[in-house]
Structure 1
């Protein structure tokens, strides 16, 4: 019999908070500060607490703008969230999809916040790998006429040879 069979050793399905006592203590403190059984947590407050938005007012604004859905429904900022709800938050061109595991009211650190939901989000879109055209080294002075033409060609402003110079 090995450690995985007894359930006593650290197996592949071990929750990370069980291995790190600091995170476990922080989760316990966050839950103690959270709602009592039977109480509810506002959606704008919850998405702020688990660090899906930067401020609670940004959470409320996202709700009002229709960027927050709970179980597929657009919700108002005061909507009550429950354990097991699917929360979708659309931000900056991509969508975070999380399942609520714990209800908390106070903002917590990122490792603790990660214990409060299951993240089912698709990967974020790749950042544009385009080098910014027109950035010059410091101290090189103004661009010469040749430099300007190269910059314009890079930007697509000049399609071919300049018009009217066919001597």
Structure 2
């Protein structure tokens, strides 16, 4: 069993990102914090580190439990980390907020017609 690995490899193996290049890009853009600090993609991750991951309108705060460099099944990937209770409640609150407060234009599949634009304008004025 490994004691450390690159953060981008770990994120990919833990299935937070579909490809390793997406994980690398997220780390470079500062969307992944290790112990509340920005790091580079080659930075080592070890057991006990706290990671904050911003991805696709979701924010996870996880503690690293296991180090693996290979991408396995989702059930194995879930054993690599433990999400904090604070993170779980925040994600549930965001999901509930999104469910209750949908943007009217989000339901449109294409550019709105003239009639739909008038309906949207009437909603905004009332």
One of 100, 115, 118 as aligned partner of 1:153: 118
Q: C-alpha deviations, 1:114-152, integer Å up to 9, x for none? A: 1110012231523353562588xxxxxxxxxxx954x23
Write out aligned runs for 1:10-89 (5 A). 35=2, 39-89=3-53
Gaps of 5+ in 1: 1-33, 136-146, 161-167
Structure with higher Rg: it is 1
Q: Structure 1-normalised TM-score? A: 0.58
Name whichever structure is richer in strand by fraction.
2
The question of whether the paired residues in 1 share the 8 Å contact of 2:59 and 2:91 is answered with no
Displacement over 6 Å in runs of 4+: 157-160
Q: C-alpha deviations, 1:7-52, integer Å up to 9, x for none? A: xxxxxxxxxxxxxxxxxxxxxxxxxxx52xxx52000000100001
Aligned residues: 112
Name whichever structure is richer in helix by fraction.
2
Report which structure shows greater RCO (CA 8 Å, sep ≥6): 2
